[in-house]
Structure 1
Amino acid sequence: MADLGINITDMTLRGGCPAPFFSAALYPDNEGYLDGRLCQSPNGDTICCLPCPISNWVYPDSFDTLTDVANWISVVGTACCVFLLLSWACLPVENTNRHYLSICLTVAVIFMNLGFIVPLAARPSQCMNDITPHDMHSLPICGVSGSFLLFGGFAGVVWAFLRALSLHLQICWDIVVGRYFHFFAQAAGWGLPAIAIVASFVFSGVSFRFGATCHINHENSLAAFWIPILIIAGLAAVLQFTTFGYCIKVYLASLADNNTAGSSLPSTAGVSLTPRQAYRRIRRVIALQWRGITIVVIIIADVIFFSIVFVFQDVTTHAVRKDPSIAADWTVCLVQAQGDKNECLEEAGVLVVNKATILAVLLLLAINGIWLLFFLGRTTMFTGWVDLFKSIRSDRNNNDFVSVDARYENRQDNRAYEMLSRDSSAVVTPIDAVKLQVVPDKGRRAPDYFGQTATYHAPVRSFSNPSAPRDSPALASWDSATTYAPPRDHRGNSAFDDDGRPQGFTRM
């Protein structure tokens, strides 16, 4: 023991284990996540366990700082998602082009980000004692963060799959998704994640594995969570690439199309389309949904990468617990270095996933909210908010009834006013101030609502009252040729005789 530089007094305080290990006999075995301990039996009798948390011993000191950075990026991503939801809720649809598939996908990403934000705000202790990490039973905040992470991750994959399915039906099968697909999407988008999280908590549970966020435990995690999420993500990827392949096929067919009768593509509606027609239809769909296509590809890639890395991490950690000889070199290095982990990080590399990969996973998950704003957000949202604030401000400055006369400083008679209708731009002008008039024969005052009598000037062509023509000689200028009436002279006599011949006509 002296050759290894072990302090005998320190070993006694640690229950007979060399630094930095502690004896498992010093701590109860009925609290916390016991399977999260990393223990070995160097002499066959004493079980020595690595201090908690394990991530502090296998990664450099900068690891915690980088995980905090990823958590703060999750805060920014959540703010972006909240902005999208508020825009979809408050602004007109022409400013946002909102759709329930986009809304539900954004909500799922918020749930996933909350799995990183909750521990960032609560700052929970990862360990129950020196060697035992907390789980969802010993620390409720662990269960909260773990449930948000698992539910949001699974829901994000399901909604990405539903977007890929909707696009596939529209492009490849010319099916316009409607109300039934909406009901199916709501049931699957929230029902499947709920089933997955219940199965994960019942058969596996969550605990502090690395970092301040609780992750699913290794036991039964493949069947309860990882395999279902990988299957759905794989189906989404297959649908997406199948749709891309069909688009490429139609595009190539449109290039070779010479508008012959035989060059047609089948349609589910029973109408044959030429390749050029099919290509134009597909191009319109992609032009409308390329943003959603891109975000689906990103989320699917993130989740598949996340799942593979964590499954590999679980398998490696479980193998070390079953076969302590895998970590023998690292253990000897820690004992010889008297607990200086920096001297043994190279030996620890065979036990865990490297730091760069873990941080890449955390950053990719945290940045999904920013991707959503970048692809699903529109510049018209910002202009829509500006217009909304301007309208609110103008409504505050305008009352329901606005007196026009109030703008004038000189108001001699308060009864003379003019009101603006709230619902119409028309001006409603009431009767002017009442003026009284004396009726001579009665000797009393009667109201005159119209003031002094104005002189009436009749229009020139007014026929309201019968009147004689102003100029009677005008009849002499009447042209009978403009009508079908028989011509007459200026005295009113007919120009034809009784036989219908003009006056003065002599039969030949």
Structure 2
Amino acid sequence: MATESNATLALRGLCIAPFFDVSNFPDEGYIEGRLCQELAPGLTCCLPCPITDWVYPDNFNTLSDAASWISVVGTAACLFLLLSYAFLPVEKTNRHYLSISIVCAVFFMNFGFIIPLAAQPDQCVNEITPHGMKSSTVCAASATALLFGGFAGVMWVFMRAVSLHLQICWQQNVGRLFMIFAHASGWLIPFLVVTLALVFSGVSFRFGATCHINHANSLADFWIPILLFAGLTMLIQFATFGYCVKVYLASLADNSASTEGSAPTYTQSVRTMSPRHAYRRVRRVIALQWRGIAIVLIIVCDVIFFSVVFVFLDNTVEQVKNTPELSTDWVQCLAIAIAKGGGKDDCLKEGSDLVVSQGTVVAVLFLLAINGLFLLFLLGRWSMVTGWIDLLRSPFSKGNNEFVSVDARYDVKNSQSSYEMLSKDANEVVTSLPPVHLTSTTPTSPRAGTKTPDFYGQTARYEVPSRSFSSPRPPTSPTRNLGGWDASTTYARPVGQGNGTFYEAEEGRFQFQHRAGDDRNPLGMNRI
């Protein structure tokens, strides 16, 4: 302990605790990340690294780790959605390339919090210098994932807002050309912007265990582009909402009776559509796209909040470095507290004027980490769960045994139509028996030898079945009713009375039976 204490005192030099003399440290790590102040010619004292340990309470790191663990849950939610999109049928997921791309973007952004949580890297190279992307691969990987995922998320919600605007306001059905344009812009632009940011600005450990972009040139190569697309997204979304409100108000003023229950015809132009028809069309589109609208608003608000807070935090730190007078009260308070055996907690009030409040920074971290859960609640469906249950229960099942009509697959070679049933598993065709044609050898045309079918001139021979105990019987005495049908021998329901009775011969048909001994004309029974 004495040796360590002597080494610490040697590193401090002429600086009072807790500061260190910059001349005792080599030029390694991210040099610009040091927070130093020149107290005298040749004497520059620097605040120990990391800076957040001195300007925020001790629970700041705990809250930052909690946000990282929420990112783990959000990443699991995104992974569930992506696997469902990949392996489940479309009727279970309603997948779309806009939704899949947004989930992928948030998946990358969450990795920016998971990588340092798993690696647990050292934030500092030495007592005063933080790690940068050149000295720490974990820093480079986490910052790249965070920046690329955040920018890609903004681009894809921008594409979704444009798609919705074209469908609602301009009645344009986006197709394959828009899909190609969306993929080219949604992935290529973030790749170019993040590459420029890494080259001209770089990343380092600045706020918590996740690396963020440095101050140099960051406003031009990252913050302005991401805020530009986020602002355009909000403008397009508000323009779409304004059009919906206009259509709704116009539908309220539309009292035309012709549009109450009718729908626009196929040949009717959309521009000449009545206000009520336009409102029904807009309401139908919003009912189908409300999840996408909610995702656009949530992600854009998160990114704008994140960008504004970190730009303000970055500028505050730079003002402290460029204007040391701003931190004079805090430095004096900290030196006095350490000399008296106290700590940083005695000077948090003086240090709060130099940084963004802890609540604001923690809120940004939690909002960025919880986006995966938002996507699960908005894009997830209960049918995905049932689809996975069905897939895990019978991954190799061929489905139920069903009978389908062969008429659905018309065979051109077989011109004779027949009623057939085909088993789904076995190719067994059940057909009707071929018709029997009775022919006669009597020529009926001038040409000799011509045989024509005789369907009425011959009587078919009755063959008694082998296990039949009945035989054909001759008809009984002729009946008096019309058509040879005796109503008294059946269970037909009598319908009327009078000189005769109507009996229900068949379904929907009635037959009149004349009563014996009555000579009245049955056709005149309804005369007045």
Task: Please give the TM-score of this superposition, normalised by the length of structure 2.
Answer: 0.73
CA displacement, residues 101-127 of structure 1 (integer Å, 9 cap, x when unaligned): 000000000000000000000000000
Matched with 1:281 is: 281
CA shift digits 1:284-322 (9 cap, x unpaired): 101111011001100000000000000001111111111
* Unpaired runs of at least 5, structure 1: 1-6, 397-420, 429-462, 483-508
Distance verdict in 2 for CA 1:331–1:467, change over 3 Å = closer
1:38 and 1:426, CA in 2 relative to 1: closer, same or farther beyond 3 A?
same
Which residue does 2:393 correspond to in 1? 390
Counterpart of 1:147 in structure 2 is 144
The amino acid that maps onto 2:311 is V
28, 36, 41: which one aligns with 1:39? 36
Q: 2:16 maps to which residue?
A: 18
How do 1:309-320 residues align onto structure 2 when only pairs under 5 Å count? Answer: 309-320=309-320
Residue equivalent to 1:443? none
Provide Cα deviations, 1:122-158, integer angstroms capped at 9, x if missing partner: 0000000110000000111110001000000000000
Moved more, 40-49 or 137-146: 40-49
Alignment partner of 1:185 out of 182, 192, 198: 182
* Corresponding residue of 1:28: 26
Which residue pairs with 2:442 in the alignment?
Answer: none
Q: Distance in 2 between matches of 1:213 and 1:425?
A: 61
Separation in 1 of the partners of 2:392 and 2:183?
Answer: 33
- Secondary structure of 1:133's match? coil
The alignment yields a C-alpha RMSD, in angstroms, of 3.3
Q: Which residue of 1 aligns with 2:272?
A: 272
Name the % identity: 58
Q: 1:368 aligns with which of 368, 371, 374?
A: 371
Q: How far apart, in 1, do the equivalents of 2:64 and 2:309 lie?
A: 16
1:380 and 2:383 equivalent?
yes
Q: How many residue pairs end up in the alignment?
A: 414
Structure 1 stretch 87-96 or stretch 151-160: which is displaced more?
A: 87-96
What is the identity, as a one-letter code, of the residue corresponding to 1:302?
A: D
Q: Partners in 1 of 2:427 and 2:463 — Cα distance?
A: 41
Change in Cα spacing, 1:464 to 1:189, as seen in structure 2 (3 Å) is farther
Give the structure 1 partner of residue 407 of structure 2: none
Q: What residue ranges of structure 2 are gaps of 5+ in the alignment?
A: 400-421, 430-457, 465-470, 484-528
Q: CA deviation at 1:43?
A: 2.6
Contact residue 118 and residue 145 of structure 1 kept, 8 A: yes
TM-score (norm 1): 0.76
**Aligned 8 A contact 1:37 1:133 in 2:** yes
- Pairing 1:226-375 to 2, within 5 Å after superposition: 226-259=223-256, 271-338=271-338, 340-375=343-378
* One-letter code aligned to 2:352: G
CA deviation after TM superposition for structure 1 residue 230, in Å: 0.1
Query: SS state of the match for residue 383, structure 1?
Result: helix
Indicate which of 134, 137, 141 corresponds to 2:134.
Answer: 137
Aligned pair in 2 of structure 1 residues 261, 41: CA closer, same or farther (>3 Å)? same
Q: Is 1:424 matched up with 2:425? A: yes
SS of the aligned residue for 1:337 comes to helix
Question: 1:393: how far off?
Answer: 7.3
> Which amino acid is 2:220 matched to?
A
| Corresponding letter in the other structure for 2:38 | S
How far, CA to CA, are the matches of 1:209 and 1:423 in structure 2? 65
Give the counterpart letter for 2:379 in structure 1: L
Q: CA deviation at 1:261?
A: 9.5
Asked if 1:59 is matched to 2:56, the reply is yes
CA distance in 2, matches of 1:85, 1:468: 70
Cα displacement (A) at 1:98 = 0.6
1:328 counterpart letter in structure 2: T
Question: 1:151-162 maps to which residues of 2 (within 5 A)?
Answer: 151-162=148-159
